[in-house]
Structure 1
Amino acid sequence: MKKPLNDTLANNRKAGYEYEILTTYEAGLALTGTEIKSVRAGQIQIADGYIQVRPNRAMLLNVHIAPFAQGNQFNVDPLRTRQLLLHKQEIKQLLKAVSDNGMTVVPLKVYIKHGYAKVLIGVARGKRQYDKRNDLKKKDQNREIQRALKRI
């Protein structure tokens, strides 16, 4: 049985709750041989991850990729800093967005596309407490509407 082209391996559900996502970018992920094997096995956690943008590069920090079981001495530190593969124009756009007040860049999901590990990153603005409450109210209202429609 063949796998689909976009195979989602990890979602950052916390990012949707904590941040308002404004724009998204698709970035490649520079990994070692044992890391990509662990990622394909789904052994990755991005919930606490964040992205640091520097003038010539973007780095993915605090993302845990479990050591590959058969990796032996080729395994690397699970929390090491990994480079994101982006075009120069995209890095400039991210730098400009981060320089604005209250903006940050967060990883949203990790997936395999045509055999390569990709990260969907989002430029986001932190939500206030009342925004989070409003989102929960809207979610509950939509759930009630869907229940009512099912009964009809």
Structure 2
Amino acid sequence: MDSNGRKVVASNKKAHHDYHIEDTFEAGMVLQGTEVKSLRLGRASLVDGFVDIDNGEAWLHNVHIPEYAQGTWTNHAARRKRKLLLNRAEIDKIERKVSEKGHTVIPLQLYFVKGRAKIEIGLAKGKKSWDKRQSIASREADREKVVELGRRLKGMRD
């Protein structure tokens, strides 16, 4: 459980490295029973996932939720497309942005809130390789600042 009352199942760690996240949305998902049971075991992968808007509905593609081990013939397909539950204004906003060049919608985090499976999706724009190098350099500079500040507060000198 994190501070927001979320039980995080999976997160897309490479999303912030590969994309500039411009906006985020929380969406519900239409799931089958065995998918929920598999998620409660903490098993899912968001690596290749993306969101597509089709006929005014949001669909989640390529998110891997493995089959439930105790499931029988009612088990689900691991990489099936799943419908996302968003309101009309959110879907329209996403559809407008995706129609612009270079924008995409990716899953950022999959979690449970009050027993309901939710997914955080991000409206993103791909980073170039020099953007990635720049963000790594700024992260390392911030880390060095924190370390140096800690050394000075402890009274250590070079």
TM-score, normalised relative to structure 2: 0.91
Q: What do the CA deviations read for 1:15-58 (whole angstroms, capped 9, x no partner)?
A: 11110000010000111001001111111000111111123201
Q: Is the 8 A contact 1:19 1:127 kept in 2?
A: yes
Structure 1 gap ranges (5+) = none
Cα distance in 2 for partners of 1:101, 1:66 equals 33
What residue number does 1:116 align with? 116
Percent of residue pairs identical: 40
Cα distance in 2 for partners of 1:89, 1:54 equals 15
Q: Is the 8 A contact 1:58 1:84 kept in 2?
A: yes
Q: Is the 8 A contact 1:54 1:95 kept in 2?
A: no
What residue number does 1:76 align with? 76
Report how many aligned residue pairs link the two structures: 150
> Considering only CA atoms, is the larger Rg found in Structure 1 or Structure 2?
2
Cα distance in 1 for partners of 2:40, 2:52 equals 24
Cα distance in 2 for partners of 1:47, 1:147 equals 32
Greater than 3 Å deviation, 4+ residue runs: none
- C-alpha RMSD of matched pairs (Å): 1.1
Cα distance in 1 for partners of 2:134, 2:104 equals 22
Cα distance in 1 for partners of 2:144, 2:47 equals 29
Which secondary structure does the structure 1 equivalent of 2:117 belong to?
Answer: strand
Q: What do the CA deviations read for 1:35-86 (whole angstroms, capped 9, x no partner)?
A: 0011111110001111111232011000100111111111111001111111
TM-score, normalised relative to structure 1: 0.95
Which secondary structure does the structure 1 equivalent of 2:104 belong to?
Answer: strand
The correspondence of residues 1-152 of structure 1 with structure 2, limited to 5 A, is 5-152=5-152
Structure 2 gap ranges (5+) = 153-158
Q: Is the 8 A contact 1:55 1:92 kept in 2?
A: no
